Amino acid sequence: MVKHHGVLFLEKKQSKLIVHESNKNDILKVLGAPSTTSKFDNDVWIYIERKQTQSNIKNLGRMKIFKNDVLVLEIDNYGMLKKKEFYNKDDMKRIEMVKTTTDQVFRKNSFIYDFMSSMRQKANDPLGQRAKKRKKAKRR
């Protein structure tokens, strides 16, 4: 059993697109709507093709990826194809991931921490009834 996700025959279809000659309409005609888009200085359209099959019985039927292609297209402000990059499963194995982590943003005594704490307190006690009961208890 093979499960397919994305654009069929992506590698073959992408060869029809020519940098500085193809435009948005050509891309949509050949590949259809992109899997995802992004907007930086230029439009970036990303197309994905993934094929999975069930693995051996010893792996308890887990799905195994045997095709994982990604096409990244950069389109300039005039709608022309500016850059085209195609990655297959082997290319992705060579990409190194950064191992550093981001520091914690919400530290105690920061403005955002204090603000979020007060919002949580207001959500838990919207009328301030708990604070009034505490004051009464202290006076006694």
Which residue ranges make up each domain of the chain?
Answer: 2-94
Q: Which CATH number fits domain 2-94: 3.40.1350, 3.40.50, 3.30.1450, 2.40.160?
A: 3.30.1450
pLDDT tens-place string over residues 70-102:
999 999 989 999 999 998 887 766 666 666 766
CA distance 125 to 61: 51
pLDDT tens-place string over residues 35-48:
888 876 678 999 99
Helices H, strands E: what count in the chain? 5, 5
Q: What share of the chain is helix, strand, coil (3-state, %, to 5)?
A: 35, 30, 35
Model pTM score: 0.62
Provide CB contacts within 8 A for 57, sequence distance 6+.
none
Asked if 39 and 88 count as a contact pair (C-beta separation under 8 A), the reply is no
